[in-house]
Amino acid sequence: MIRFENVSKQYPAGTHAVKSLNFDIKEGEFFVLIGPSGCGKTTTLKLINRLHELTTGYIYIDGKKISEYDIHELRWNIGYVLQQIALFPHMSIEENIAVVPELRKWSKDTIRKRVDELLELVGLEPDTYRDRKPKELSGGQQQRIGVIRALAADPQIILMDEPFSALDPISREKLQDDLLQLKERIKKTIVFVTHDIQEALKLGDRICVMQDGEIVQIGTPEEITLKP
Ligand code: ADP
Ligand code: ADP
């Protein structure tokens, strides 16, 4: 599904953020990138949707180099969830979720159905939440909206960059459990960045441990030896 072949990224300032990465992510896999701050996790993630351009090597999605995709086509096919979800404050929850479907010119009816289906998927009653503004939701609820917004136009791949790290421990655990359930139902390829080993072991089908821009271990939670 996603293949990294000798991928390096050097920022203009000179930082060699990732060096010669080689790995494959399978279709439907929950793949976790873990490692200390500054080890290159976010850079690796942003190379996939071309928020950053790689310096050397190739990344393939479905056997095609990402440089050969139309950039909009590529990004539409990749949902992105950030730590700071940044919902548009002046827009309703429905409008926030509908941003990408609107860009893709889905009909109003199709969008309404999709929004309701997604709200139900994360246990938020559509009639109650559809018209609210983001500030009328708790932090955990807003983060749920961030997750379903990334799913809205049914992308094949979801990138998640420390999506739960700003939450209190109880909300975090709840959202982790929800994501595990969601994963079974949506069958997406997920690339998930965290620095929390417990979170990685709980969620990941496979875990890639990074250090100084390199992969030091890669395997299932059972195979990983760098345990707390
Ligand atoms: P992580 O996500 O693991 O914290 P990053 O991928 O954000 O690591 O950063 C890897 C390295 O690249 C760090 O040394 C960081 O300072 C550097 N870096 C990240 N983004 C940029 C940028 N836009 N310009 C220059 N250096 C950057
Ligand atoms: P993070 O460290 O979480 O990636 P940053 O604060 O470094 O966040 O910036 C967010 C992203 O925006 C980074 O990937 C960075 O490279 C990019 N960025 C920051 N400033 C610029 C800029 N002037 N032009 C283009 N991209 C930028």
pLDDT value for 127: 97
Proximal ligand: closest to the CA of 46: 2
Distance of CA 17 from the midpoint of ligand 1 (Å): 6
> Any idea what DSSP says for residue 131?
T
Q: What value, to the nearest 5°, has the Cα angle with vertex 74 and ends 99 and 11? A: 105
Residue to mutate, 43, 53, 161, 194, ligand 1, most ligand atoms under 8 Å from C-beta: 43
d(CA 92, CA 69): 32
Q: Which two tokens stand for residue 149?
A: 């917004």
Q: What was the pLDDT predicted at 83?
A: 83
Residue 227 has a pLDDT of 57
What angle, rounded to 10 degrees, do the helices at 108-121 and 169-186 form?
Answer: 120
Assign 190 to helix, strand or coil.
strand
pLDDT, tens digit only, all 228 positions of the chain: 999 999 999 999 889 999 999 999 999 999 999 999 999 999 999 999 999 999 999 999 999 999 999 999 899 899 999 887 789 999 999 999 999 899 889 999 999 999 999 999 888 999 999 999 999 999 889 988 998 999 898 899 999 999 988 888 888 898 899 899 888 888 899 999 999 999 999 999 999 999 999 999 999 999 998 654
Question: In angstroms, what is the span from residue 36 Cα to ligand 2's centroid?
Answer: 19
The ipTM estimated for the assembled molecules is 0.68
The Å distance, Cα 57 to ligand 1 centre, comes to 18
User: What is the CA 199 to chain-centroid distance, rounded?
Assistant: 14
Give the phi and the psi of residue 8 in degrees, each rounded to 5.
-125, 150
Q: For the chain, what is the total number of helices (H) and then of strands (E)? A: 9, 10
Among all ligands shown, which has an atom nearest to the Cα of 43? 1
**Encoded tokens for 39:** 């080890």
Which pTM does this prediction carry? 0.86
- d(C-alpha 175, C-alpha 151), whole Å: 16
Ligand 1 pocket residue status of 194, Cβ below 6 Å: no
Coil/strand/helix, residue 137: coil
